[in-house]
Amino acid sequence: MKRLFLFLGLFLISFLGAGQKNILIFLVDDLGWTDNSLRKPAIFRTPNMEKLARKGVEFTQAYANQNCTPTRVSLLTGMNALNHKVTSWTFQKDENPNEGGNPRFAVPEWNMNGISPSAGVAHSIHATTIAQVLSAQGYATIQAGKAHFGAYNTPAADPKNLGFQVNIGGTAAGQPASYYGKQAFGNDPQKPNIRAVPHLQRFHGKDIFLTEAITQETMRVMDSVLTKPKPFFLLFSNYAVHTPIQGDPRFVDAYYKQGMDSTEAKYASLVEGMDKALGDWMQYLDKKDLTKNTVIVFLSDNGGLTDVGRGVPGRNTYNTPLRSGKTSGYEGGLRIPLIVSGLSQRDSRSQQPILVEDLFPSILAWTKTTKPKLVQSVDGKSIIPFLDAKKSDASRMLFWHHPHMRTNGSRDIQPFSAVRQGDWKLIFFHQDQHFELYNTKTDLSEQTNLYVKESAKAEFLAKVLGQKLRETKSHMLIDRQTNQEILYPF
């Protein structure tokens, strides 16, 4: 009789999961395009990223938004930032985080509360998340690690309000109070910290790093999830490698021995610890015989650090050969590592430019989800055709919009709007309304502004960008001298 029940259970799992892939989104916070051994093997050790790339397709021209919450909202909704209008990171309800910058300008209206599962929440985008869609399809939906989908004291502060049946460690915080179990990840009843990481009490006081604790706890939960006949959608969202830059004790000594600056050694250990978690998940899927039916998507939520001190001399050089980094409109702020594994393609590189919102329709296809009931219109385009590295679409337009003053003293980090088509990328800087045009193929470091020399291409892209901003009713930076938003380009 037990054998009969076991057979029926396995049959039911097979039947319900037929054609429906499990989805594991392995999201890393602030990992730059070059912060790995695929790009800089002499500095970083990420053997599991290399292994994943050999097993799948690396998109070498993948893009996110310039900082975290906009990317996470695009990932969950399939919307471009020009439409969801969560154009910077969120924090407290109805509060614009400290902008700083040029006192002449003010930040316009934006959705500072992030995403909302229901209408009527001010300063938020009402949308249907991919977790809600898949939960309705019978998927087990789990969010682990950093969430940061919206502000504190709004529905989005709790991922369970956004379609995730399980939440492990996710809040409205954009970074952890501490990576150390011995510090209870910032949970101190005597000194409450809004960034303390919840749900990991069994690791408090122990000599364990946050990345490892979240991995172990999520696998413990997954063991229970897998006893039920459901496919799963797991958003495993690392707090690493976001600040605070604290050394992972498992790896940091090796970097000290290489003679690295202390801060850079700690940062490299955060990267290697993240990669260790990726390897652990690949082994877990193998052990559970789930690898063949699971799509793994590895990505970062924005470009690498640039305005936070690391151990490399000269701010804005961490992401070389890319220019600048997180929060900027240059390649260093937008281009991210992105790898897709678990499909038939192996060890290939796609040059097709894609944006993070493209994952939404791709996941719908992988999970055989047709005609989902959505509040929003989806801007993303499926990346599935481009898993064949020989295929490309040079006509595709990619757009960004960041009307915010978080300059942090860096001349490269300014309010901007941008468009890319093919190899060409045009950036419009709000404060002085100037344009910069780059050929990303011949000038990856964006050193030669071709706006004058390639005037026809520049004017075409400027008109396209201006029209898109108008169509989406995007707000521009406010000039306090006129109390008006600056004019759209063209």
- Does position 198 have pLDDT exceeding 70, yes or no? yes
CA distance 258 to 265: 9
Cβ atoms of 341 and 50 within 8 Å: the answer is no
Residue 379, token pair as written in the block: 């801007």
Which long-range contacts does 442-448 make (Cβ < 8 Å, 24+ apart)?
A: 444/321, 444/322, 444/331, 445/320, 445/321, 445/322, 445/323, 445/331, 446/322, 446/323, 446/330, 446/331, 447/323
If pLDDT is split at 50, 70 and 90, which confidence band does 6 have? very low
pLDDT tens-digit series, residues 336-390: 999 999 998 899 999 999 999 999 999 999 999 999 999 999 999 999 999 999 9
pLDDT tens-digit series, residues 27-76: 999 999 999 999 999 999 999 999 999 999 999 999 999 999 999 999 99
Residue at token pair 């809600």:
132
Residue 247, token pair as written in the block: 């050394």
- Does position 4 have pLDDT exceeding 50, yes or no? no
- Does position 165 have pLDDT exceeding 50, yes or no? yes
pLDDT tens-digit series, residues 235-263: 999 999 999 999 999 999 999 999 998 99
Q: Indicate the range of 133-147, 193-207, 297-311 predicted with least confidence.
A: 297-311
pLDDT score for 314: 63
CA distance 123 to 106: 17
If pLDDT is split at 50, 70 and 90, which confidence band does 2 have? very low
- Does position 225 have pLDDT exceeding 60, yes or no? yes
Residue 417, SS3 per DSSP: strand
If pLDDT is split at 50, 70 and 90, which confidence band does 410 have? confident
Sign of CA dihedral 51, 386, 450, 487: negative
DSSP 152: B
CA distance 490 to 488: 6
Residue range 186-211: mean pLDDT, rounded: 97
pLDDT score for 1: 42
pLDDT score for 318: 85
pLDDT score for 407: 64
Which long-range contacts does 251-258 make (Cβ < 8 Å, 24+ apart)?
A: 251/45, 251/276
Instruction: Give the pairing of strands 166-168 and 140-145.
Output: parallel
pLDDT tens-digit series, residues 315-341: 567 899 999 999 999 999 999 999 999
C-alpha distance from residue 480 to each of 217, 257, 404, 407 (Å): 50, 53, 14, 18
Domains of the chain: 21-384 (3.40.720.10), 415-490 (3.30.1120.10)
Max Cα distance, the chain (Å): 81
pLDDT score for 486: 96
Residue 294, token pair as written in the block: 């699971």
C-alpha distance from residue 443 to each of 273, 322, 449 (Å): 33, 10, 9
pLDDT score for 315: 59
pLDDT score for 12: 38
Residue at token pair 């997180």:
326
pLDDT score for 18: 53
pLDDT tens-digit series, residues 204-221: 999 999 999 999 999 999
Residue 424 phi, psi (nearest 5): -100, 135
- Does position 80 have pLDDT exceeding 80, yes or no? yes
pLDDT score for 461: 98
- Does position 268 have pLDDT exceeding 80, yes or no? yes
Instruction: Report the alpha-carbon angle 426-61-441, nearest 5.
Output: 60
If pLDDT is split at 50, 70 and 90, which confidence band does 310 have? confident
If pLDDT is split at 50, 70 and 90, which confidence band does 5 have? very low
Cβ atoms of 486 and 452 within 8 Å: the answer is no
Instruction: Give the pairing of strands 338-341 and 56-59.
Output: antiparallel
If pLDDT is split at 50, 70 and 90, which confidence band does 13 have? very low
